[in-house]
Chains A and B, each alone.
Chain A
Amino acid sequence: MQVLVAMSGGVDSSVAAALLAEEGHEVVGVTLKLWGGDSDSGCCSVSDVDDARRVADGLGVEHLVFNFGDDFTTHVVGPYVADHAAGLTPNPCIECNRHLKFDRLLKRASVLGFDAVATGHHARIEPVGPDGALRVVRGVDGAKDQSYVIHMLTGDQLARVLLPIGGMTKDEVRARATELGLRTADKPDSQDVCFISHRGGGREAFLGSRIPLRPGRLVDTSGTHLGEVDAVELVTVGQRRGLGVAIDGEPRYALSVDVADATVVVGAADELLVDGEALAGVVWADDAARAQAIGAVDVTAQVSAHGEPVAVTEVVAHDDGTVVVRWAEPQRRVAAGQSVVLYAGDAVLGGGTVTR
């Protein structure tokens, strides 16, 4: 097969490229230039591109750089900023996968004659659906599993994406990289939001230079004033740290954020508990996956990148496209803007974004 491998310059995608080349595929590496200029921190910096190129050189495969900066701004950074301004808690990695890696890159690969796009995600794609339908399945390394962030892959895309390292643990990936002499073998895992640099002042500075950050009031559920926060746009539902309120020694959590009113309602941990969540923009692996989810037999949900599976008792699809998921046991509220992904066992059925 002719495979275009998305190489970030990290160890996972380096090994992914190496494995495919070893298997005899015709491999071309590509690094996506998504953000930033010559800065040497954060994503797609020149040194990451250099790492990817040198790994490709070592493997004897061609390496390209595609500049998708325009789409990254439109589909990832712009919405990230707008969501914060609206008091939501976005997950930009998911939007990048949705719009860049598994949309624009996949389309371009197909036009250029490639049979598949490969990435270094810790997840697998296996024929575990009815009649052997392909599904995203959790990676072998549970702690590193990334099925959650690539849950939006659907039938047609699943057939054209390869995840070569999904069957390996991170330790095995690193060991393999060392064995192959890859220069990225000891490179630390990437952290946090790739387009925000810590040296540049982190999330607060990034958002503060793009939207006004306004002080907000902290109130309890009865409306009693408890204190202040510096920036209501930076508060996430479920957040405890940084609010600086505790009552009778019990910590208080953000229960809801109203940006328009510059108000954060706080309460005790048990006040965070809800019976379910409403999701918008739900994408199903295929119609069978949707039907399986609606059946809600042995369906679990994951509500954060490395969260534990939560048992689901009911999944209701409304006519307006909203999907309501009901928990077996009350769970802490998920911040609006975050993704909830539904699984049957280890296989992804679909996922969507929590609405308010």
Chain B
Amino acid sequence: MTDSPATGGNPVVDMRGITVEFSGVKALADVDFRLFPGEVHALMGENGAGKSTLIKALTGVHRPTAGTILLKDEPVEFTAPGQARNAGISTVYQEVNLCPNLSVAENILLGHEPRRLGAIDGRAMRARATELMARIGLSIDPASVLSSHSIAVQQLVAITRALVVDASVLVLDEPTSSLDSDEVEELFRIVRVLRDEGVAILFVSHFLDQVYEIADRMTVLRNGSLVGEYLPQNLDRMALVSAMLGREAGLLDEVERRSEERTPQSAPVLVAQGLGRAGAIEPFDLEIHEGEVVGLAGLLGSGRTELARLLSGADRPDTGLLMVDGETIRSRGPRSLIARGVAFCSEDRKAEGVVEDLSVRDNLILATQAARGWARPVARRTAEAMVAEYIERLDIRPADPDAVMGNLSGGNQQKVLLARWLVTRPRLLILDEPTRGIDVGAKAQIQKVVAELAAEGMAVLFISAELEEVVRVSDRVVVLRDRHKVAELSGAEISVDSVMTAIAADAHSSTAVAS
């Protein structure tokens, strides 16, 4: 029935009827999940579907309230991550969970370090680390400090750590979200090597392309319940998205149509001439007009965020000129640009966006209040009106202005942040990865709002790692490569292919960006 390597064998992990409750609320209800040796099994679902909870139930971070977990046909009950690991279940998380201040060898082997006469044997440890890294083709100095390496390499070190114990199960929880496509290819090569060695791999990703490229089997969760287990060849993308959403994905089509109707307006809101910052982005020219959505495409590290930070005043340029409405800006931080109607929604929601302990209301009016200064508070009634309007318009849940921001899901936090800037009525809205790490529904909603805003005359700079998304929403696409602006596409020129060609020109062959 399938070409999955697992067919016929016994699952290495068999989770049955798993239920996890948090203070009475079910995060997972009666979910079955199995994992066969030698397969890559993708776990799919929107945010809040229960993917992380299922993984944590497997690795012993959460204890299920009901259900059984069989590991190699033996029932197990882990109470600590260390136990799961010793039983052969290793996990690599989205954000590298290693210690940046320790050496590579220590990060790989701590907890299993070779000892001599009770003391850690440094030499043996480095030798063993080198040996393990060689297994996945990684050759870096084991004595070097972890933080001296790129995130991609750190990710590989984390995988190496997973190999220390004879891992029969490797959990990869969104390992690709901060890697560029070359790095993803490298990761997938290693995943295939391990799979062929018989390791069962549980893979979580938001990127559908990657899932179809690597997965042998998929399990879809929705709202804490199991939707089904599928083979990729039997489930096309539309069907997968429908399964994840539990509804037809009509919203996306609507956005697609909108962008074609739009025509660029005349007056440039923002003009950058030769703007640049050493080590961040080479000098570039850019104009953004009223009512226009300019997409910014490029691989990770191509300078997308750096460009946005220069335009928004978050970083100071070394060279060039920045003008808003024809007026030259001498930036002293974000305030001067905010005052001229340039709003910047950072990609790092947690660190640079949400104020967790404050209410949704306070978060929403923060930028407005900051612009007014502390002495002129936003009147309570005005604030309530603003909050009510945007809770409805963006469908923020829970629809409670007093809810503590930190308790909202990622997608809803992102909507509040978007609203924070919308209430300031900006002339130019810079959105850096507004849809990253949030579920498909919220994503479509944000894309739709962007289109509406442009129609109302707002200029938008839209940054995303997902080319499809950039192509869909943008009137013009600026392509960056290796910190240079390399192309500007508009109108009919815009397509995923043309953007990819621009990204891939010279430097890479077309296969490098195939994912």
A binds B: no
Binding site for B on A (CB under 8 A): none
